[in-house]
Amino acid sequence: MSTQERASEAEELDVVIVGAGFAGIYALHRARQRGLRARVLEMGDGVGGTWYWNRYPGARCDVQSTFYSYGFDADIDQEWEWSERFATQPEIERYANFVVDRLGLRDGIRFDAEVSSARFEEETSLWHVDAADGSSFVSRFLIMATGTYSAPLAPRVPGADTFEGQSILTARWPHEPVDYAGKRVGVIGTGATGLQVISAVSKEPFGHLHVFQRTASLTIPSGPLHLQPDDVRALKARYPQYREDAKRSSIGAIWEDPTVAIDAIDDAALHDEMQAMMAKGSGHVFTRFTDLATSLEANRRFIGYLNDRVRARVNDPELAELLVSRDPVYGVRRVLHEHDYYEVYNRDDVTLHNAKAKPILEVTPRGVRTEDGEIELDIIIWAIGFDTGHGALRRIDVRGRQGISAQDALADGPNTYLGIMLDRFPNMFIIAGPGSPSIRSQMITSIEQHVEWVDELMVRMRERGEVAVETTPQAVEQWTAHVNAVVDNSLVGLDRTTQYFGANVPGKPSAYLAYMGGVGPYRDICEAVRDAGYEGFVFTEADGSRTTASESWSGAPEGLVARSPFGARVI
Ligand code: NAP
């Protein structure tokens, strides 16, 4: 079919939304509330995004379920009942489906429709979008709700496709049950996913479990798994206020204000504080201390305390030393919440392999090979992570002005304005894109803020008859410099070997993938940009005339105090 024929058959819309995860669902709802013709294109056959694909055993959220949920609809907050403190993947997927049906959104989602290309047409300021199922769309706006952990990495070990057993990528876990009975199971990777898989598989009737660990993760015991009905009732009574407070918080969720400086207390007092916080739940440990963001000594003692807990739980001291974290600072990697993880290594039928000292050299038809020889396996589980942040965006052929591809626009790094827009991609918005709090925040709070901000922008344009909005190279440069300055001025900048710097993907530029100034300060900045007439943006009217309040961003407010609990300091 010719391009012209396709275009004539294309469905005409105001907004195409790519992805039916939490961002796409809410973007569809807002667009419909505004009377915009909108459609979501989703490559899977269900909603939930990350929580649809990552159906591996043990998958659960480590943010308390009553916090990790939409806050935009007070009725939904009252109607939905979470069954556990840390919701499992099936429950979160059920929640996403509940919201979609409750808001009547399902008929706006086209499933099994993977977007293959999107092209901005300069003459009309319209986007032309094609999906792999043959469907085509023309729309004014393109919302990339493509997710941040949605481009799973494929195994890069030589011979990976020669394995004759069952090879499973955690982010593409089969819908059918996996039979572990008597099998030799290998798990590769010990990040957030790996730890959950290992704990879950350890309860199955496997023959032998081999764990291949390259880097030990820093962990905190998750604490009580059950929600107390009284706590839920109390939260529901003040949910609207909680949601408002969360929007202005450092991370997009609230436990308690930090009040205790580790540097000011002795080891016995630190022990008491940690015990008390862990008994309440992992989130309380996160936010208890005032100086984890600023003091290396506080970090040394905090990490030391958690590592000593690991040593106390693992019988073999040599194994224990392998399992303790070597992170220089809390938060450089994701701090994981675990329940019964370390006890797994006290079993005779579990072997921990040091994949840093002795990497997996190749996958063979019968297993994997290290310098110690072949380890025979029946199942290999790859929990090896993602092309974090904008990985999914980079995998779509998206073309902006003069045919520039998103890959080229992002080749030098995750350079965006506010994490929302790329230079030369008019009318295209990224939800929770790189350079916004996104992956270092309570994701749903951040998603809602972006969707609402973009929604207001689209409404303004409709009211004024503007056909295009785009950011400027100056604004992108200024914002990127600010994002980098915050990280460089923080303790998380000390370790650039993490996925947050893109280090897990060969060739990806080394740049932090999130804004570390905190959810509340970031929201203030976005609102200030809006209130200044959308500085850093240029609008085009139907007659081609262009207007702008300012092509530059006027910068962060004087004395902005970064409020991320992951180690950002005063800027
Ligand atoms: P990840 O944090 O990037 O971990 C990937 C792991 O695979 C790392 O331990 C990595 O080691 C290892 N690895 C990669 N290639 C390897 C190889 N060839 N041999 C041995 N080990 C190898 O990915 P993830 O665990 O999927 O987590 C990604 C993100 O998803 C998290 O940061 C989190 O935001 C989210 N998540 C959240 C939850 C939750 O809410 N509970 C659960 C799962 C995931 P190196 O570190 O040495 O590279």
State the pLDDT at residue 558: 76
194 lines ligand 1 (CB under 6 A): yes
Token pair in block for residue 467: 């056909």
pLDDT band at 571 (very low <50, low <70, confident <90, very high): very low
Nearest CA to ligand 1 atom 26: 385
310 CA to centre of ligand 1 in angstroms? 20
Distance CA 53, CA 150 (A): 8
350 lines ligand 1 (CB under 6 A): no
Of ligand 1's listed atoms, the one at least distance from the Cα of 59 is 42
Phi-psi region of 457 (alpha: psi -120 to 50; beta: other; left: phi over 0): alpha
127 CA to centre of ligand 1 in angstroms? 35
Q: Is the Cβ–Cβ distance between 389 and 396 less than 8 Å?
A: no
451 lines ligand 1 (CB under 6 A): no
More confident residue, 224 or 553: 553
List pLDDT tens digits, range 402-440. 999 999 999 999 999 999 999 999 999 999 999 999 999
Distance CA 269, CA 333 (A): 26
Token pair in block for residue 180: 């572990």
The sign of the dihedral angle between the CA atoms of 520, 70, 222, 51 is negative
389 lines ligand 1 (CB under 6 A): no
- Which of 61, 168, 190 to mutate to test ligand 1, by most ligand atoms within 8 A of the CB atom? 190
Token pair in block for residue 451: 């969707």
385 CA to centre of ligand 1 in angstroms? 4
Nearest CA to ligand 1 atom 21: 189
Distance CA 392, CA 406 (A): 11
Distance CA 224, CA 242 (A): 21
State the pLDDT at residue 258: 84
Average pLDDT over residues 259-276: 96
pTM attached to this predicted model:
0.96
Distance CA 126, CA 137 (A): 10
State the pLDDT at residue 5: 54
List pLDDT tens digits, range 459-518. 999 999 999 999 999 999 999 999 999 998 888 888 999 999 999 999 999 999 999 999
Coil vs helix vs strand at 418: coil
Nearest CA to ligand 1 atom 40: 61
Cα–Cα distances in angstroms (integers) from residue 176 to residues 55, 59, 361, in the given order: 10, 15, 30
283 lines ligand 1 (CB under 6 A): no
For the chain, the farthest-separated pair of C-alpha atoms sits apart, in whole angstroms, at 75
519 CA to centre of ligand 1 in angstroms? 24
More confident residue, 122 or 255: 122
Q: In whole numbers, what is the pLDDT of the chain averaged over residues?
A: 95
> By C-alpha distance, which of 379, 367, 454, 375 is closest to 417?
454
339 lines ligand 1 (CB under 6 A): no
Of ligand 1's listed atoms, the one at least distance from the Cα of 214 is 47
More confident residue, 287 or 335: 335
List pLDDT tens digits, range 187-213. 999 999 999 999 999 999 999 999 999
Distance CA 260, CA 201 (A): 38
In which element (H, E) is residue 138 found? strand 136-144
Residues β-bridged to residue 38: 15
Nearest CA to ligand 1 atom 10: 189
190 lines ligand 1 (CB under 6 A): yes
Q: Is the pLDDT of residue 254 over 90?
A: no
Q: Is the pLDDT of residue 396 over 60?
A: yes
The DSSP secondary structure of 40-101, one letter per residue, reads: EE-SSSSS-THHHH---TT-B-SS-TTTSS--S-HHHHHH---SSSS-BHHHHHHHHHHHHH
111 CA to centre of ligand 1 in angstroms? 28
Nearest CA to ligand 1 atom 22: 189
Cite the beta strand spans of 239-391 per DSSP E. 336-338, 350-354, 362-364, 367-370, 373-376, 379-382
Q: Is the pLDDT of residue 570 over 50?
A: no
49 lines ligand 1 (CB under 6 A): no
Strands 136-144 and 428-430: parallel
pLDDT band at 568 (very low <50, low <70, confident <90, very high): very low
Cα–Cα distances in angstroms (integers) from residue 297 to residues 302, 304, 568, in the given order: 9, 10, 16
62 lines ligand 1 (CB under 6 A): yes
Average pLDDT over residues 306-312: 98
State the pLDDT at residue 255: 81
The DSSP secondary structure of 205-243, one letter per residue, reads: --SEEEEEESSPPPEEE----SPPHHHHHHHHHTHHHHH
214 lines ligand 1 (CB under 6 A): yes
Distance CA 117, CA 134 (A): 11
Token pair in block for residue 156: 């890069």
Per-residue burial over 503-529, b if 16 or more Cβ lie within 10 Å, else e, is ebbeebeebbbbbbbbbbbbbbbbeeb
Distance CA 135, CA 129 (A): 9
384 lines ligand 1 (CB under 6 A): yes
499 CA to centre of ligand 1 in angstroms? 8
